[in-house]
A and B are shown apart, each in its own frame.
Chain A
Amino acid sequence: MSKENIYRSHVLVCTGTGCVSSGAREIKDVFIDELHENEIENEVRVVETGCHGFCERGPIAIVYPEGVFYSELKENDVAEIVEEHLLKGRIVDRLLYVDDDKEKVPGYSDIAFYKKQKRIALKNCGRIDPENIDEYIANGGYEAMGIAFTELDQDKVIEMVKDSGLRGRGGGGFPTGLKWSFAAKSVSNKKYVICNADEGDPGAFMDRSILEGDPHKIIEGMAIAGYAIGADEGYVYVRAEYPLAIKRLRKAIKDAEEYGLLGDDIFGSGFNFKLNIKEGAGAFVCGEETALMASIEGKRGMPTPRPPYPAVKGLWGKPTNINNVETFANIPFIVQEGPEAFSSYGTEGSPGTKVFALTGKINNTGLVEVPMGTTLREVIFDIGGGLQENRKFKAVQTGGPSGGCIPEEYLDLPIDYDSLLEVGAMMGSGGMVVMDDNTCMVDVSRFFLNFTQSESCGKCTPCREGTKRMLEILNRITEGEGKSGDIKLLRELAEHIRDTSLCGLGQSAPNPVLSTLQYFENEYIAHIEDEKCPAGVCPDLKGAYYVLEDDCIGCGICMKACPVDAISGKPKEVYTIDSEACISCGVCADKCPKDAIAVG
């Protein structure tokens, strides 16, 4: 390495997209200025890293070697950390993370959010500088590639991936080793490897964080796949909405080329591999593999029927292997540590770990990686810290627009591909949106259908027309115009769309509707028959707001907030809302400091 200095401390500042938008860049600059000011810039180094996962608490900085975790930093906190911690060795108590028991937790690995996690795909995220190839190599990077190219033949690599039991992390869960063996068997003078980074599911940002935090791991995983199936060229298809991921990946490819880790005759093995980046142009359907390939070819991204599968006839008609970002991120570990090390985590049918993007009405939003088989309760309550404002859990939505909503009774379900399917949801790419009792399930299913409907490419009729008709019905129900028979019609349409659509987008589009109908049919009935939205979300069905007399403290904030003067009362007495004048805007309930206003 070219660095002459041996630093006594490292300050790792997370510069993932989440932390950057809460001001991490400025924090990093202030650190550098302060270190200069105190003349310790040769003793302490500031490193920009990828995502630590704990986006809720950004900006985040971790001071090594102690591993002290400082969160929610402001620019004027930095001077104190430099003076107290880095100069005098005293931890700045007031900036530490405070856990649920109101205890201050200095150690990064002792925080409940991280304790139950097992990081394989995310191992380097937040720990290394993603723009520095030397740091990746120093952490064992490109070793797996070296082992594969110089010690293993193609069949052996595929066998290892098969033995590990790794299944596609993009959502389908198809065994990765088997997929590779299909592409390997196809005979052709040219083959391709594609990394699907067209992460379009609302509520999912696993792929973005891996690309931003550890781009070399994807390069390594793809090169090993190329070696195994005999492909000498690869494409990473990444959303244009992820500019930072694209920038870091581009730099990583350039550095790997300069080090001879991409290009011709890698490690003297005679194997050549080059990698290109293709920016998506905003079409959700391009996450579907045949549509994605059409898009790389410069065409409209429309799916084509399978078979032929990409392994036989893919990009430009050549055999092609497509895997998701997270799938590739697991490959170096499997080759380096062996398939058994990988399958020692997780369940029998779904070995390894899975990255989830935890969002919605949850305390600790962020990115978590847990062994398969971890229960939903552990993820949502132990790691995720439970629901915001201690509200009541209603459902968790997994699998994005193709997935389903899982109710409370299944909170102790161990998560893997098969268990989620059994309860009408799916793994999907790993988005997990937590919903509380203020969430209307009819509105949620309308939201997802609105999404798939507008993203339907229009090629096949069931998806184009069917989702439109379903959406019309759902719109009607949420507007209070629901008719008896609507639920039956929704189910019937859903089944037809599922069975007859051309690609995965259409086939799975009805899932959110079917799963909410399965577990929350009474909410649909309340909308249609009682013309009421039990959660108080749908504007036309909300009814008036009213004050809960026992909880009202008579502060009068609601009265000031009401835009139509529908609230009256005297300070320190219970206020009342005139239900005739109330326009159900909900401002009073939002402003009430005691949650003493209800609706319905």
Chain B
Amino acid sequence: MTCACQQAEKVNKYLEPLYRIMKNYEVDEKNLIPVLQQAQEEYGYLPEEVLKEIAVSLDLSLSQVYGVVTFYTQFHLEPRGENIIRVCTGTACHVRGAGEVLDVFREELGIDNGGTTEDLKFTLETVACIGACGLAPVIMVNDNTHGRLNAESTREVLNKYR
């Protein structure tokens, strides 16, 4: 069994990167979104302990922080895959076959839109438009854009990240 002080120490250590991020921001509501963005980059998602600490440090209520987190699609309360696949389903991609591309990922990974594979290797998402319509249908895997896809080349792209 761990005693309370050990537990506190553990949490403290876990939050250390967050403390470093917070140092760059003054206590002001306007900094909430940038802090959340940086924290998510650090932790991969936004765990409860992190949100609590952010609320305390910015002098906001936890419900306010939670409200903002759940409003914006960028923020996530659950752990995410190592590779984030974003399938663009914007107009141009839609008419050029984004549905087929999405189906390949659904089948191959066995997860639905918004899901993460059990081994935490992939998260599958759709986005409205990533502004690379010239390459439609297009996907982003992490920060890399892959375009002009069909079912076959989609599988090839996926295999590169496996």
Report A588 CB to chain B, min CB distance, Å.
14
Most buried by A among B33, B133, B135, B147: B133
Bound-state CA distance A157–B128 (Å) is 38
- A431 — which chain B residues lie within 8 A by C-beta? 91
Give how many A residues have a beta carbon under 8 Å from the other chain's beta carbons.
53
- B160 — which chain A residues lie within 8 A by C-beta? none
- B68 — which chain A residues lie within 8 A by C-beta? 298-300
Q: Does A421 contact B (CB under 8 A)?
A: no
Who on chain B is nearest to A435 by CB?
Answer: B95
Check if A447 sits within 8 Å of B135, measured CB to CB.
no
Bound-state CA distance A455–B73 (Å) is 10
Bound-state CA distance A154–B137 (Å) is 47
Report A263 CB to chain B, min CB distance, Å.
21
Who on chain B is nearest to A365 by CB?
Answer: B134
Who on chain A is nearest to B34 by CB?
Answer: A279
Q: Does A366 contact B (CB under 8 A)?
A: yes
Q: Which of A397, A435, A439, A455 contacts B128 (CB 8 A)?
A: A455
Report B125 CB to chain A, min CB distance, Å.
10
Report B39 CB to chain A, min CB distance, Å.
12
Check if A21 sits within 8 Å of B146, measured CB to CB.
yes
Report A415 CB to chain B, min CB distance, Å.
18
Q: Does A547 contact B (CB under 8 A)?
A: no
Known contacts A240-B37, A359-B91, A447-B94; A282/B131 CB under 8 A: no
Known contacts A18-B134, A18-B135, A298-B29; A283/B72 CB under 8 A: yes
Bound-state CA distance A361–B36 (Å) is 39
- Residues facing B in A420-476 (CB within 8 A) are 431, 433, 435, 439, 444, 447-448, 451, 455, 457
Check if A433 sits within 8 Å of B92, measured CB to CB.
yes
Bound-state CA distance A178–B74 (Å) is 36
Report B126 CB to chain A, min CB distance, Å.
10
Digitize B123-155: 1 where CB-to-A-CB distance is under 8 Å, 0 elsewhere: 000011111111110100001111100000000
Bound-state CA distance A201–B130 (Å) is 10
- Residues facing B in A234-293 (CB within 8 A) are 240-243, 278-284
Who on chain B is nearest to A245 by CB?
Answer: B131
Q: Which of A296, A301, A359, A457 contacts B92 (CB 8 A)?
A: A359
Interface stretch, picked from A140-148, A203-211, A324-332, is: A203-211
Q: Does A597 contact B (CB under 8 A)?
A: no
Check if B72 sits within 8 Å of A301, measured CB to CB.
yes
Check if B72 sits within 8 Å of A17, measured CB to CB.
no
Digitize B14-47: 1 where CB-to-A-CB distance is under 8 Å, 0 elsewhere: 0000000000000011111110110000000000
- Residues facing B in A350-374 (CB within 8 A) are 357, 359-361, 365-366
Who on chain A is nearest to B65 by CB?
Answer: A298
Digitize A295-327: 1 where CB-to-B-CB distance is under 8 Å, 0 elsewhere: 111111110000000000000000000000000
Report A253 CB to chain B, min CB distance, Å.
16
Bound-state CA distance A396–B91 (Å) is 11
- A280 — which chain B residues lie within 8 A by C-beta? 74
Check if B67 sits within 8 Å of A300, measured CB to CB.
yes
Q: Which of A18, A20, A200, A240 contacts B129 (CB 8 A)?
A: A200
Q: How many A-B residue pairs have CB under 8 A?
A: 126
Check if B29 sits within 8 Å of A199, measured CB to CB.
no
Report B40 CB to chain A, min CB distance, Å.
10
Known contacts A297-B29, A301-B71; A17/B91 CB under 8 A: no
- Residues facing A in B73-100 (CB within 8 A) are 73-75, 89-92, 94-96
Bound-state CA distance A451–B72 (Å) is 15
Bound-state CA distance A280–B128 (Å) is 14
Known contacts A21-B147, A240-B37; A208/B131 CB under 8 A: yes
Who on chain A is nearest to B144 by CB?
Answer: A21
Check if B135 sits within 8 Å of A203, measured CB to CB.
no
- A55 — which chain B residues lie within 8 A by C-beta? 132-135
Q: Does A165 contact B (CB under 8 A)?
A: no
Most buried by A among B90, B95, B130, B135: B95
Check if A282 sits within 8 Å of B74, measured CB to CB.
yes
Check if A361 sits within 8 Å of B29, measured CB to CB.
no
Report B58 CB to chain A, min CB distance, Å.
8
Report B26 CB to chain A, min CB distance, Å.
12
Check if B91 sits within 8 Å of A360, measured CB to CB.
yes
Report B141 CB to chain A, min CB distance, Å.
11
Q: Does A135 contact B (CB under 8 A)?
A: no
Check if B134 sits within 8 Å of A281, measured CB to CB.
no
Report A392 CB to chain B, min CB distance, Å.
14
Check if B131 sits within 8 Å of A199, measured CB to CB.
yes
Check if A359 sits within 8 Å of B133, measured CB to CB.
yes
Q: Which of A20, A208, A284, A298 contacts B33 (CB 8 A)?
A: A298
- B131 — which chain A residues lie within 8 A by C-beta? 17, 199, 204-205, 208, 241-242
4 A-B pairs with the lowest CB-CB distances in the bound complex, closest first: A55-B134, A202-B90, A21-B145, A205-B131
24 contacts between A and B (CB under 8 A): A17-B145, A21-B132, A21-B138, A56-B134, A202-B90, A203-B90, A203-B91, A203-B92, A203-B129, A204-B129, A205-B129, A243-B143, A281-B75, A283-B73, A284-B128, A298-B31, A300-B71, A357-B133, A360-B91, A365-B133, A433-B91, A433-B92, A433-B95, A451-B128
Further 18 A-B residue pairs, CB within 8 A, beyond A208-B131, A297-B30: A18-B132, A18-B147, A20-B145, A55-B133, A200-B129, A202-B90, A241-B130, A279-B33, A281-B37, A281-B73, A281-B74, A282-B72, A298-B33, A299-B29, A300-B68, A365-B92, A447-B94, A457-B71
User: Footprint of A on B, CB under 8 Å?
Assistant: 28-34, 36-37, 67-68, 71-75, 89-92, 94-96, 127-136, 138, 143-147
